[in-house]
Chain A
């Protein structure tokens, strides 16, 4: 019988994701019928993920590594429920705070104050809860003087700070971070890392995508290495990153195409 601690918090079970390339995407009826008369609607498909399986345990700081286009973001989106996988299944136990591209839920015409509430409710918090955390968010993002300025007048670093503060206002069970730490100055990056470490000590599981191997080695205890949609290796960070460092493009496994 498995105990609570050995039950994975996220199970990725034989997940595949198949995409149509945008080349021949029909956006109007006319284009669609034109394509039909020219020998049918063409689908140029490929697998962004092929049969990926692994499990993430509660309390893990899991790093996703791989070259550009290896399927890291696709996997994050499947875990957070944005994409439905073409095959396979992802099981998630707990709440997810997605930090995929900061500020996704922001409306640039609204002020920071209004956006804190809007984005907070996008993430599923109640207005009452947001009010109770409001000062904390403002303090963390260091935007006290700009609270009533529309976001379109903010610098990208300011937007990132606000978004990070909103997304981490609570202790989620799972925090998903897609290269967020590459924005902002080094002081803010340190602050974010400290906040993530704090969340982890409270039991939050973190999944981090980063191109900085130093950052992965510093923060993650486990790593999954994706290569053109294939899970190349996964396990303890120290076992994998040395090999990844010496990885050559010619050794890469090509992406699967349907017959």
Chain B
């Protein structure tokens, strides 16, 4: 109990550093670009347009049975990008800050935490794109939209856990980055971003249903698009996946963090 309290106190002491690091990332991301922050909105919007065009007309199969395909698609895409961005950046964050960590003591977990926060901020900006798509398609806004905080927050915690785990592996084995890239591509197809899993055969459906990302995406769709709110299943699974991921991530990170500096 005492260690938890001490850790939280240390974390609180470094809150300004966290804030400054996020500001730095944001500034550097959009420095020297004419449209600047607008890209946070434009990028998902344009990607969504491309995907609607591809899946809605070219293939003209999967997108067909889904009501309001554009909103359905952009929700999946936003959530998945948040996860991929957050975990990939968190993975590299500890090693990237090696010059600093070799010279000054700072809690090392601050970097994965910062990257997931940065990805979350980006994701919130991208929500504007979602709002635009909903407006253009005249999607009615259900009062359950307030509940969308829950899947978002749980996905953030889930990503943090995965990010902590990956970043502690990545210090020792650089292969992790390539494996994770490939795995994310696989995961993208298995997360029901641009199709409805009920159109799939039994076996494939089962695989999709054990994918935590499918649950986070579906939870958000349920809140925003279908207006059904969160089912007990969603509440429970979203929470459990986040909790397990965070515990495993923290455990792996704590176990290895004193060795990091010797391998950087």
Contact = CB atoms under 8 A, between A and B. Distances in A.
Contacts of B19: 121
Given A28-B173, A121-B20, A109 B104 contact: no
B105 to A, nearest CB: 3
A82 B175 contact: no
A30 interface: yes
Consensus secondary structure, chain B interface? helix
Interface string A126-150: 1100000000000000000000000
A50 interface: no
Interface string A169-191: 00000000000000000000000
Contacts of A26: 172-173
Consensus secondary structure, chain A interface? loop
Contact of A28 (B27, B100, B175): B175
Nearest to B25: A107
B104 A123 contact: yes
A109 B31 contact: yes
Given A32-B173, A118-B24, A124 B103 contact: no
Q: How large is the interface on A (under 10, 10 to 19, 20 to 34, 35 or more residues)?
A: 20 to 34
A29 B176 CA distance: 9
A127 B16 contact: yes
A117 to B, nearest CB: 6
Interface string A15-42: 0000110000111111010000000000
A104 B13 contact: no
A81 interface: yes
A122 B24 contact: no
A114 interface: yes
Contact of A27 (B27, B174, B262): B174
Contacts of A19: 262
B105 A109 contact: no
A53 to B, nearest CB: 22
Contacts of B27: 110, 114
A83 interface: yes
A150 B127 CA distance: 32
Interface string B12-35: 011011011100100110010000
Contacts of B53: none
B105 A27 contact: no
A126 B13 CA distance: 9
Contact of B14 (A20, A30, A114, A124): A124
B99 A81 contact: no
Contacts of A123: 104
A174 to B, nearest CB: 12
A135 B114 CA distance: 29
Contacts of B105: 80-82, 96, 98
Nearest to A32: B173
A52 interface: no
A195 interface: no
A114 B27 CA distance: 10
B16 A82 contact: no
B183 interface: no
B175 A29 contact: yes
A114 B24 contact: yes
B50 interface: no
Given A80-B104, A83-B261, A105-B104, A121 B17 contact: yes
7 contacts: A30-B175, A98-B103, A110-B27, A114-B27, A122-B104, A123-B104, A127-B16
Nearest 4 pairs of A and B residues by beta carbon: A81-B105, A104-B103, A121-B17, A121-B16
Interface of A: 19-20, 25-30, 32, 77, 80-84, 96, 98, 100-101, 104-105, 107, 109-110, 114, 117-118, 121-127
Given A25-B263, A107-B28, A122-B17, 9 more contacts: A20-B262, A27-B174, A82-B101, A83-B261, A98-B104, A104-B99, A110-B27, A117-B20, A126-B16
